[in-house]
A and B are shown apart, each in its own frame.
Chain A
Amino acid sequence: MTDSTPAPDSDFELLQAWREGDVQSGEDLFARHFEGLCRFFRNKVSDGVDDLIQRTFLLLVERRDQFEGRSSFRTYLFVVARNELYRELSMRRRTADKFHPLEVSLVEISPSPPSVMARKREERALLEALRRIPIEHQVMLELYFWENMTAGAIGEVLEVPEGTVRTRIRRARALLAQQLESLEAGGALLDTTDANIDQWARSVKKVVESS
């Protein structure tokens, strides 16, 4: 949890006030968490991002009691967001098969790319690579790196033990490295075929900084 994040209690207080009819509290809560939710949904669905955000906020009101005192507000937020995302994706899938977030990637479910939210080429490559690994892995990496969540909190979101999260993060990194590599194979940024993503990321960093 970084310093800029508000203390969990105050978020829950805002929610409670909103439930009791205080619209201003609702708006404050929304302003605090819009960006995270928007980022979360935006590279996963090509349309209906606004509906997903709206639904998530409404569900926060409804499911509040199930989480009281158990989680931080942001954990709660992403529990709801992830459930809504999976519900949406499982409705959008084209076959009758069950939706398996640990097996299927976003490109397999909705091949059309999401609206562009990355200006830099290497950022786009990262977003695209994320779409090519199983969704559960994608969600995990994003929560870890973008939302600065701990393995314990991620475990609560994904409903798995903390140890499992650690194992999965290793797996997710390897999968992501593979995808990044195949995406940028032959590209100017790629000067090594080493599967070690850390090294590769450092080399990317150097190129970016020097340009």
Chain B
Amino acid sequence: MSEMDSDDGLKQRFGSGPSQDDLEARHWRGSVAERLFGRGGAPVSIGRFRVLSRVGSGGAGVVYSAWDPKLERRVAVKVLRGAHDPREVEREAKLLAKLSHPNVVAVYDVGEHEGGAFLAMEFVDGETLLENDALGWEDALALLGQAAAGLQAAHDVGVVHGDVKPRNMLVGTDGRLRVTDFGTAHAGDEQFLGATPAYMAPEQARGVVATALSDQFSLCATAFELFYGVRPFAGGSADEIRAALLEGDRQDPPNPGKIPRWLRESLERGLSTEPVQRHADLNALLTAWRRGSRSNRGAVTVGVLALATIAAAAASQSGAGVDPCGEARERIVSLWSPQRRQALSDQFQSHGLAFAEQTWTRVESEIDGHVEELQGVLSQACALPNEEASLRRRLCVERRIIEVEAILDVLETDDPAVVEESVLALALLTDPQGCVLDARPLGAPDEEERRAVLEAVARARALRGVGKLDEALATLRRARRDAHEVRDPAVTARILLELGDTLVLREGVSDDTPTLATLEAALLAADAADAPHLTAQALLSLANANHRATRFDEALRWLDRLDAHLQGFEAPRLKGRAATLRALVGSMVGGWEDEAATRDALDRLRESGVRDAWLGLGLNNLGEAEFEQRDDVSAALHYTQALEIWNDVLGPSHPTTAGARGNLGEIALFRGEFDIALEHFLHALEIRSAAWGADSYWVAHTKAHVADVHRLAGRPDEAESIYRDVLAFTQRELPLPESEMFFALDTGVDRLQPWALHGLALLELQRGDPQAALAWANQVDSNSQVRAERHPDLSARFDVKALALVELGRFEEATSVLDRFEPSWTSAYANGVYKGVYAPLARAELARRQARPGDACAVLLPATVIDDPGVPAEDQRRLDTALESCAVSQLH
């Protein structure tokens, strides 16, 4: 401690801490002591239970927190008021004690205290359903499903609750709901008067003994209040409420819009005045909720409800054999029901997207194929003679079903961007065949917590697939919290892996981000779980993340480990992805000397036979990397391969394919193949206009390319009219749709405008009108000018201004522009970003006019040496003429 004790200054500063003898503290001292030690007349003990404090009182009695010295645990003791027959209470308590259902509060003991009956019960750390407000209807329904399961279990052993209401439903901090206060509220007059009639069934109000159907009515009344915020039968007094109840005068829900119709109908049936018109029992109500949730979007709710039903069935049938495959088969069938298929199809078409039809066809067949495969794997699993192997495989299918549920859930989001990304998202589904190879030892069964976590991870992956990264991260954070309870390394690995993959996209990879550490932790967890498939995924993700961080050597090391790991495994998709990545990394590391390695990787890729949208993306990215290195041959090859795959997988009118077309157009332009370039750009333009409408960023972007082609091909009038279109787009005041804001803010409109103005100015120079050229060039706004000093590609847009000024004889201004942007041009040349010839031309022309021919030659020589096929004939001619004239003047 010596080191820490030495800082007397800090010790002095802290002193002995603020004293706690002020008025407020003294008040607390008194009030807490009073509550703890009950000087207000609380008993010291009830039966064998030592009372610690009084926690509440209600119509039925007083509840104490107490200590059970025999079993050494904290209990809740309820002392009943009024004329309860202790023997009757004891009879029911015994029945409940036998019940032991997760959704029924446990009753430990029963006895007499000062002439009345008392119950010792499980102490639930949590709050009542009533306090649990601000629940979404899906969460509320999941809780009510637990309540229904608990009540059904009680009904099955012949116990009727009689006073079902939110206050009697305790939600523990573990999220589990327990129904409490069973059988303490029979339809004796005294009870009726003491209780609030708001949840009571009409027959109880008439004084008839409560039945299981009365409980159903009360549960539906509770649900009604939870969903709509008002009670179904209202009135200013107990008598008024009772009158409304007996007449069946139910309130209309104030905001029926949010709650699905099926849910409302299920409640209305349960709230029927005549008991025979209600659901047959609570299992029937649960089934209705389950079916409804599935047809709606509550995949998560379905899971919880399904469990509630299973728990209820298990409790009621007490172990009677249920066909486990039947349950799973039914789930697969209802998962992809004709109704759901139709609803999704309608939604895909509802946005008026040109590519929606094609995309839907692919999505539908993808899901069909996947579901069919799942059924096949399930049938095989069920036919396995070895019970453990069979169960293991069935659990694996179960996990795949969760994935499909999650992705359908996300696809049902009413959002055109989701339609666009849907095929990519589906490609993230785990291969059902993987279950056949699943060598994992049989772990814990998929209990509720574990299931909830897996559902969350599946949902996050689906969200990542459609590009909703923030939602995905939020989902994962919640899952990570829940996973704490599960303590299964495989579950942890899945969460970390998905988290890492999402972070790669959302936060990137650097020393400041937790991305790599997350993925490394995922790898450790996967190893610990002995789950080879997860280990492979983690290795691949690590390679990918390092590649993105331009740590290519690291990426290759992970890929080597992955290759070694995958040896002997039948995993075509993973091997395909690994090969794509190797090709990408190889092209960056080895440059073009190591072409053989790249080819080898691509060959491996083709052999894998995998063709999915992500592979297209990999090839497209590879092409972009190659084009940046001016390897137009390789780039064109990979763009073409990407285009082919996307055409196959996404359909030729999907906007993603326009990306590959645009890239091919740029290559053709670079090569001076104007006709081919024009064809690609026009094709891209057509796809993008159809997808996003004529008035969108990417359409304007493609138009600028088309105008460039016309200008360079010597069609100035066509070029001018299109540049003017683009300019008009950049100057409009309409806000961009949200989906395009990203491009606009990042690289978009602020680059489009200088691009169009540059084109228009060049056209005027070509026409021999430097004055008009300067007028266009001067329109580039000052923001762009400031940024251009740092962005070479933007700075290139100012070269024409310099040239116009020289031709107008305004040498000083020309020099100032040249000097200002020279540094960024120079670096642009070095990077190969700036391919323009106007800057050196302007410098040379300036030197020539100022009679410094030597300087002119010095500037021009390196420019002409570039011998760039991308320099158009017109510009090449200018360069040659200028070089000739400087050479001639030098001779003189």
Chain A residues in the interface with B (C-beta under 8 A): 19-21, 23, 26-27, 30, 34-35, 38-39, 42-43, 49-50, 53-54, 57-58, 61-62, 65, 87, 96-98, 115, 117-118, 122-123, 126-127, 141-142, 144-147, 150-151, 166, 169, 173, 197-202, 204-205
Instruction: Report the minimum CB–CB distance from A35 to chain B (whole Å).
Output: 5
Q: Which residue of A lies closest to B6 (CB)?
A: A198
A19-B50, A54-B53, A65-B72 known; A117+B13 contact, CB < 8 A: no
B474 touches A96 (CB 8 A): yes
**Segment with Cβ contacts to A, from B21-29, B309-317, B371-379:** B21-29
B29 neighbours in A (Cβ, 8 Å): 34, 38
In the A-B complex, list the 10 residue pairs whose CB atoms are closest, starting with the nearest.
Answer: A201-B9, A146-B17, A145-B14, A198-B9, A201-B13, A50-B28, A38-B20, A202-B9, A117-B18, A62-B74
Name the interface size band of chain B: 35 or more
Cβ A198 vs Cβ B36 within 8 A: no
Smallest CB separation, B188 vs chain A (Å): 34
The residue of chain A having its C-beta at the shortest distance from the C-beta of B28 within the complex is A50
Q: For A150, list chain B residues within 8 Å (CB).
A: 1
A53 touches B50 (CB 8 A): no
Q: Is the CB of B67 within 8 A of A61?
A: yes
B33, B474, B480 interface centre (most CB from chain A within 10 Å): B33
Tell whether, in the assembled complex, residue B73 and residue A50 are in contact, meaning their CB atoms are under 8 Å apart. no
- 7 interchain pairs, CB-CB under 8 A: A39-B18, A42-B20, A57-B36, A118-B18, A150-B1, A202-B8, A205-B9
A175 to chain B, nearest CB (A): 13
Decide: A198 near B17, CB < 8 A? Known: A61-B67, A96-B477, A98-B481.
Answer: no
- A202, B20: Cβ atoms under 8 Å? no
- The answer to whether the Cβ of B255 comes within 8 Å of any Cβ in the partner chain is no
The reply to whether B17 and A30 contact each other, CB–CB distance below 8 Å, is: no
Which of A50, A61, A204 has a CB less than 8 Å from the CB of B32?
A50
> Chain B interface (Cβ within 8 Å of chain A)?
1, 3-4, 7-22, 24-25, 28-29, 31-33, 35-38, 44-45, 50, 52-53, 65, 67, 69, 72-74, 173, 474, 477-478, 480-481
Report if A26-B36 is in contact (Cβ < 8 Å); known contacts: A61-B74, A115-B24. yes
B33 touches A205 (CB 8 A): no
Query: A58 and B69: CB pair below 8 A?
Result: no
Contacts of B18 in A (CB 8 A): 39, 42-43, 117-118, 123, 127
Q: How far is the CA of A8 from the CA of B215 in the complex (A)?
A: 52
Contact yes or no, A20 B50, CB < 8 A: yes
A150 to B67, CA, bound (A): 32
Minimum Cβ distance to chain B for residue A187 (Å): 15
A39-B17, A145-B14 known; A98 vs B4 contact (CB < 8 Å): no
Q: A85: shortest Cβ distance to chain B, in Å?
A: 15
Partner of A126, one of B13, B21, B31: B13
A96/B478 contact (C-beta < 8 A), A19-B50, A127-B18, A145-B14 known: yes
The answer to whether residues A61 and B52 also contact, given A30-B36, A145-B10, A145-B17 and a CB cut-off of 8 A, is yes
Task: Tell me whether A144 and B65 are in contact (CB under 8 A).
Answer: no
> In the complex, A87 Cα to B35 Cα: how many Å?
21
Contact call A19/B480, Cβ cutoff below 8 A: no
A151: nearest chain-B partner, CB-CB: B1
B16 nearest CB neighbor, chain A only: A146
Residue of A nearest to B484 (CB): A98
Complex partner residue of B4 from A21, A35, A166, CB under 8 angstroms: A166
* Closest residue of B by beta carbon distance from A99: B481
Tell me which residues across on chain B come within 8 A of A204, comparing CB atoms: 13
Q: How far is the CB of B60 from chain A (nearest CB, A)?
A: 23
Q: In the complex, how many angstroms separate the beta carbon of B74 from the nearest chain A beta carbon?
A: 4
Nearest chain-A residue to B19 (Cβ)? Answer: A35
In the bound complex, do residue B36 and residue A173 qualify as a contact, i.e. CB atoms below 8 Å apart? no
Q: Is the CB of B10 within 8 A of A53?
A: no
- The listed residue (B16, B22, B45, B478) touching A21 by CB distance below 8 A is B45
Distance in angstroms from B300 CB to nearest chain A CB is 14
| Docked CA distance A8–B257 (Å) | 62
| Bound CA span A87–B172, Å | 13
CA distance A30 to B529 in the complex (A): 47
Tell me, rounded to whole Å, the shortest Cβ–Cβ distance linking B338 to chain A.
36
Residues of B contacting A118 in the complex (Cβ-Cβ under 8 angstroms): 18
Chain B residues lying within 8 Å of A145, measured Cβ to Cβ, are 10-11, 14-15, 17
Assembled-state Cα–Cα distance A62/B28 (Å): 22
Contact between B14 and A141, CB atoms less than 8 A apart: yes
Closest residue on chain B to residue A203 by CB atoms:
B9
Residues from chain B with Cβ under 8 Å of A30 in the complex: 32-33, 36-37
List B contacts of A58 (CB < 8 A): 36, 52-53, 65, 74
Q: For B28, list chain A residues within 8 Å (CB).
A: 38, 49-50, 53
Q: For residue A54, which residues in chain B have a CB less than 8 angstroms away from its CB?
A: 32, 35-36, 53
Least CB distance from B542 to A in Å reads 24
- Tell me, rounded to whole Å, the shortest Cβ–Cβ distance linking B299 to chain A: 18
In the bound complex, do residue B20 and residue A34 qualify as a contact, i.e. CB atoms below 8 Å apart?
yes
> Given the known A-B contacts A57-B36, A61-B67, A98-B481, are A198 and B50 also in contact in the complex, defined by CB atoms under 8 Å?
no
Interchain nearest-CB distance for A62 vs B (Å): 4
- Give bound CA distance, A126 to B9, whole Å: 13
Tell me if A202 and B67 are in contact (CB < 8 A): no
CB < 8 Å neighbour of A146 from B1, B12, B14: B14
Other-chain residue from A61, A98, A142, A205 in contact with B13 (beta carbon distance below 8 A): A205
Neighbouring A residues of B14 by C-beta, 8 Å: 126, 141-142, 145-146
Specify which of B7, B20, B33, B67 is in contact with A39 (CB 8 Å cutoff). B20
Q: How far is the CA of A38 from the CA of B7 in the complex (A)?
A: 26
Give A201's nearest chain B residue, CB to CB: B9
Cβ A169 vs Cβ B4 within 8 A: yes
Q: Which residues of B contact A98 (CB under 8 A)?
A: 477, 480-481
Give the contacting residue for A201; candidates B10, B17, B25, B67; CB below 8 A: B10
Q: Which residues of B contact A127 (CB under 8 A)?
A: 18
Min CB distance, A27 to chain B, in Å? Answer: 5
The minimal Cβ–Cβ distance linking A45 to chain B, given in whole angstroms, is: 12
**Chain A residue with minimal CB distance to B9?**
A201
Smallest Cβ distance from A146 to chain B, in angstroms? 3
Alpha-carbon gap, A34 to B31, bound state (A): 12
Residues of B within 8 A of A126 (CB): 13-14
A157 CA to B232 CA, complexed, in Å: 50
When the two chains form their complex, are residues A173 and B10 in contact, meaning their CB atoms are under 8 A apart?
yes
Out of B10, B65, B477, which one reaches A198, CB within 8 Å?
B10
